[in-house]
Amino acid sequence: MTPLPSRVVIVHTREHVAATRAAAEKTGVAVMLLSAPHIASAGGPLYAKALMGDATSLIIPVLDCGDDPGLAWRAADVGWRYILFRGSDALLEKVRSALQTKETSFPGKQKVEDPTIESSFPRKRESMFFDGLDPRFRGDDNHVVVITPDEIPSDVLDLARTTRKGEVLVKWIVGWMTE
In a domain, 1, yes or no: no
Domain total of the chain: 1
End-to-end Cα spacing for the chain: 27
pLDDT per residue as tens digits for the range 68-83: 999 999 999 898 999 9
In a domain, 2, yes or no: no
Mean pLDDT of 14-34: 96
Residue 124 DSSP SS3: strand
Q: Is residue 160 very low, low, confident or very high in pLDDT (cuts 50, 70, 90)?
A: very high
User: What are the DSSP calls for 31-91, one per residue?
Assistant: EEEEEPHHHHHHH-HHHHHHHH----SSEEEEEE-TT-HHHHHHHHHTT-SEEE--S-HHH
Name the residue with higher pLDDT: 107 or 6.
Answer: 6
Peptide bond into 122 cis (omega under 30): yes
In a domain, 50, yes or no: yes
Q: Residue 48 sits in which domain range?
A: 7-109+116-178
Whole-number pLDDT of residue 94: 92
Radius of gyration (Cα) for the chain, nearest Å? 16
- Write the Ramachandran bin of 166: left for phi over 0, alpha for psi from -120 to 50, otherwise beta: left
User: Could you give the dihedral angle defined by the CA atoms of residues 23, 2, 55 and 175, in that order, rounded to the nearest 10 degrees?
Assistant: -10
Question: What residues pair up with 156 in beta bridges, in sequence order?
Answer: 8
Q: Is residue 91 very low, low, confident or very high in pLDDT (cuts 50, 70, 90)?
A: very high
